[in-house]
Amino acid sequence: MLYRSIVPSIVNRFAGPRWGTALVVMLALAWSAPRVQARDTWRPPATDSVDRNLVDALIERSQLDAAQALCQRMQARAMKGSLDDARWAAMLVEVLTQRQVDRLFSGTESLQQRIENAVAISVQPVGQQIAADPPPGAALSVFLKAAEIKSRQRILAAAIVAKSIAAENQQDTDRLVKQFSRLQRDTDLLVKEIKPLWANAASGTVSQGSGFQPTASQLKSLENQLRLSQLATSVLQTEVFDPQSADYRSLATNAAVQAKRLLQQLPDDAAAKPVAQRWLAEAELRSGNLVEAEQLTSSPKVSGNESEQYAWDALRIRLLLAKNELGAAERLDQQLRFGASKSVASKVLDFASLQVRLAQQPVDQTQVVAWIGTIGSRYGDFARRRAEAIVLREMKDAKLITPTQPNMNSSAALVVVQAEDWLRRGDVQQAASLLQNAAEIEPDSAMALQYAGKAAAAWMRADQPSKAALVLSRVSQRHQSDPGASSAQLQAALIVSKALAEKSTDGISIETLIGYLQDVYQQWPQSSQAVTAMNWLVKIHNASGHDKLAGEEILQLVVLSKRPELVQPTATQWLQACSVGKATQADLDSLAQTLIELARKDDQLKRPVYEVAGRLFNLQALETIVAICGPEVTPPVENAAHQLATFRLQEAASLNANTIPAALQNSVAMRLMLDGIERPAIRKRNAAVLSEFSLDDAWQKAVVQFWLQPGKASADALAGVTLKQPAGPLLENLLLQTKQILSGDRSAAAVQAAVELFERHSLGMKRGSAAWYNAKLHAMELLDALGQQDEASKRAKYILLTVPPKENALRQRLQHFAK
């Protein structure tokens, strides 16, 4: 920050008994002259100011990449060892210093290591110039060394901020004191180098071996600025200690003595004199000499310099706060910032205004956080960082937080500020915990969800996806009415899914994912996320063989949301579950009743339910939905759903197989077969239509063949196809349906084929198992229906004699046939 005018900007803001840790002071280090002129004091002199001003503007706007690229490009064009080369090197140091200052607040290295790295990187351009062969010459060298000193001063100022918001560390304190002492000593040595150069310039003596000949005025100005820098550093050094400590007040007193000595040495017309006077006022304020400080602030000599006037005004505000005159400070703050025809945007005043807000009792934490945002939007990220550091330190002093935990009375936004500081320091887990706390104590729904998102991101960085998902879920459940809540809950599911895919060991299971997805559609059934979650759930359940469970999930969403567009997918899922044996006809009948009740209560569901009823409902349920819908809802005659419903309900009706889409033919075929089982009179009619379908299921084809050409051959073929199905729920369903089909034909050959079907089925089972007993009992029922009671009785007695069942219900059924 060697040439940046920030000393007055901040020194004035936060000193005094209450604000001893005036963090802003050390971060400003501004001079009394206008900004560009003040910076130029520290840079090797040059005539062209256009590029110089551009660099200043880029730094002011935090556009450091552009500023660095410009300096490097211009330095590359300059002749090696020339004045321009040195000037651009010094300007590059300024840019690099600003960049490194921003990085002091992040990383896991010790503060000392971060300081050393920052200095090494920042001063490298001028270090290379000073160490060049041949050397740059004594005159140019002092300006380059001044640039290096200002960079170190700027970095140490920021280091105090980083230290102030961290846990107490005496080692950091000791090291900072040593670094400040080294900086003061090096500044003294540089001043001594300048004196003979100034004497030569004043006498007109030309230095040997150098093309650069600064004027006596330029050298004297540099010397004054260095002494002013030493004074600023002396005041700044007080920040290393607690404001109530003896060390703090002792250093402030020493700084006041130093300021008085400098004021005596400076001529009345020196540009540095008003600034030195302000530093004296600052030192007196810090040392507790409020009367002396007030006398100095009563009539400052600012010579029309607007930025210097703002610095004095900010000092007056802080003085009032130190005197516990909060009301007067508030009035002065308002007057200074809004008293003119337009509001004033001054960095130094804005930081003083932050101090006023923090002095209020109780502190309006929402207002403080908003003001931090204002400072950041006006002056960039580093200014925001400074403001956050001040607030964090005040929170610690007021015991609103510890270095790791917030108080529940603290503002969530301030807890987030603390968390972001931990993030910058590389402690992701601590940051995540604080962000989670912020999300849980924030009353505003939108902000709570925002904090939850930040907490989840931090937990993910800490490799704890279960906590990331949990914070999103908890906060979204707490703020269900917020438009973003359903998205947050779905995000929790996405985090769990990612963890599962990566085989995380963080206690996450597929059941965890299912639970989060269920929460989405159950809590926010009308949201688009509910449909996304449902589709995801259906895929999970189907993939794991739980097709019926998938149907139950999607039906629950239909009940909760009353969404017409979900009726069709619901029917498809249940029919699929039925086709693989995971759902029964009883399940479909129950589904039909649920959909009928929904349609009865909600007109917008009538047409969608009617559309699926033809291939889903039994005949009685189909009649009910047709009656409920009436002609005003019933689809037109050419509609496929209408034609299918009419065909099923009216025995004389016909159906063109081409009207049924190929994708629906298997489910329609199943429904027509079930109709045939229920009403034998329509079997042949239905089979005629089904024979025109492109059926790909061997069992369905065998049923159609049997109905078209009943007899022993087709019955045996149907029984054989049934037994070829793999063991499981589907086979059990098909066995029962085949039994109904064959026994319902009233043909002895067909019934006998059914008897043999169950006998053959029992051969592959363990004797004495429940399934084995049931297969035997089905065969006995069929024999009884054939009039072969003696054969049925013989089989029952044999089983009771050789393999008697232990279950009473099975034993009673066998005894029924054994009579």
* Interior/surface letters 271-306, b for 16+ CB within 10 angstroms, e for the rest: bbbbbbbbbbbbbbbbbbbeebbbebbeebebeebe
Res. 392 pLDDT band, cuts 50 70 90: confident
pLDDT at 229: 92
Query: Using omega within 30 degrees of 0 as the cis cutoff, is the peptide bond preceding 44 cis?
Result: no
Q: Yes or no: say if 633 and 608 are a contact pair by the CB < 8 Å rule.
A: no
pLDDT at 39: 45
Q: Encoding tokens for residue 730? A: 């589907």
pLDDT tens sequence across 296-325: 988 777 666 788 888 899 999 999 999 999
**Distance in angstroms (rounded) separating the CA atoms of residues 299 and 156:** 32
The residues, any chain, with a CB within 8 Å of residue 245's CB and separated by 6 or more, are none
Is residue 211's pLDDT more than 80? no
Say how many C-beta atoms besides its own lie within 10 A of residue 565's C-beta: 10
Alpha-carbon distances, residue 596 vs 192, 584, 590, 616, 623 (angstroms): 98, 19, 10, 12, 11
Q: What is the CA radius of gyration of the chain?
A: 44
3-state secondary structure of 57: helix
**Distance in angstroms (rounded) separating the CA atoms of residues 559 and 541:** 19
Q: Encoding tokens for residue 673? A: 């077969």
Phi, psi values for residue 166, rounded to 5°: -95, 175
Q: How many CA atoms lie within 13 A of 752 on its CB side?
A: 9
Helix, strand and coil content of the chain, in percent to the nearest 5, comes to 75, 0, 25
pLDDT at 208: 56
Q: Encoding tokens for residue 531? A: 């449909």
Res. 38 pLDDT band, cuts 50 70 90: very low
3-state secondary structure of 720: helix
**Distance in angstroms (rounded) separating the CA atoms of residues 633 and 453:** 46
Alpha-carbon distances, residue 586 vs 583, 616, 671 (angstroms): 8, 12, 13
Alpha-carbon distances, residue 655 vs 383, 625, 649, 687, 693 (angstroms): 78, 20, 12, 11, 11
Is the pLDDT higher at 559 or at 15?
A: 559
* Interior/surface letters 449-471, b for 16+ CB within 10 angstroms, e for the rest: bbbbbbbbbbbbebebbbbbbbb
**Distance in angstroms (rounded) separating the CA atoms of residues 193 and 196:** 7
Q: Yes or no: say if 488 and 452 are a contact pair by the CB < 8 Å rule.
A: yes
The residues, any chain, with a CB within 8 Å of residue 580's CB and separated by 6 or more, are 547, 729, 730
pLDDT tens sequence across 784-806: 988 899 999 999 999 999 999 99
CA angle at residue 745 from 741 to 748, to 5 degrees?
A: 115
Tell the burial category of 760 from Cβ atoms under 10 Å away from its Cβ (0-12, 13-18, 19+).
Answer: middle
Across the range 671-692, mean pLDDT stands at 91
**Distance in angstroms (rounded) separating the CA atoms of residues 489 and 484:** 9
Averaged pLDDT score across all residues of the chain = 85
The residues, any chain, with a CB within 8 Å of residue 677's CB and separated by 6 or more, are 737, 740, 741, 744
Is residue 329's pLDDT more than 90? yes
pLDDT at 808: 92
Res. 133 pLDDT band, cuts 50 70 90: low
pLDDT at 550: 94
Q: Yes or no: say if 63 and 114 are a contact pair by the CB < 8 Å rule.
A: no
pLDDT at 44: 62
3-state secondary structure of 9: helix
Res. 137 pLDDT band, cuts 50 70 90: confident
**Distance in angstroms (rounded) separating the CA atoms of residues 349 and 204:** 45
* Interior/surface letters 519-558, b for 16+ CB within 10 angstroms, e for the rest: bbbebbbebebbbbbbebbbebbbeeebbbbbbbbbbbbb
**Distance in angstroms (rounded) separating the CA atoms of residues 473 and 528:** 17
Res. 540 pLDDT band, cuts 50 70 90: very high
| Identity of the residue numbered 275 | V
Is the pLDDT higher at 395 or at 237?
A: 237
DSSP structural state of residue 303: T
In this prediction the pTM is: 0.63
Block residue for tokens 């090291």: 175
Largest CA distance in the chain: 142
Alpha-carbon distances, residue 338 vs 330, 345, 349, 794 (angstroms): 12, 9, 11, 108
Is residue 402's pLDDT more than 60? no
If phi > 0 it is left, if psi is from -120 to 50 it is alpha, else beta; for residue 167 that is beta
**Distance in angstroms (rounded) separating the CA atoms of residues 667 and 579:** 8
pLDDT tens sequence across 189-205: 999 999 998 988 888 77
DSSP structural state of residue 635: P
pLDDT at 398: 55
Q: Spell out the domain ranges in the chain.
A: 32-205, 559-696
Across the range 25-52, mean pLDDT stands at 44
CA angle at residue 91 from 86 to 93, to 5 degrees?
A: 95
Nearest Cα to Cα of residue 755 among 729, 784, 734: 784
Alpha helix (H) residue ranges in 634-769 = 640-649, 665-678, 683-690, 698-708, 712-723, 729-743, 748-763
**Distance in angstroms (rounded) separating the CA atoms of residues 11 and 236:** 8
Is residue 712's pLDDT more than 70? yes
Block residue for tokens 């459940």: 477
If phi > 0 it is left, if psi is from -120 to 50 it is alpha, else beta; for residue 323 that is alpha
Is residue 379's pLDDT more than 50? yes
Q: Yes or no: say if 103 and 8 are a contact pair by the CB < 8 Å rule.
A: no
Say how many C-beta atoms besides its own lie within 10 A of residue 626's C-beta: 20
pLDDT at 365: 81
pLDDT at 45: 58
Q: Yes or no: say if 587 and 548 are a contact pair by the CB < 8 Å rule.
A: yes
Q: Yes or no: say if 30 and 10 are a contact pair by the CB < 8 Å rule.
A: yes
Res. 40 pLDDT band, cuts 50 70 90: very low
pLDDT tens sequence across 612-632: 999 999 999 999 999 999 887
**Distance in angstroms (rounded) separating the CA atoms of residues 654 and 614:** 14
**Distance in angstroms (rounded) separating the CA atoms of residues 560 and 29:** 64
Nearest Cα to Cα of residue 510 among 521, 520, 501, 523: 501
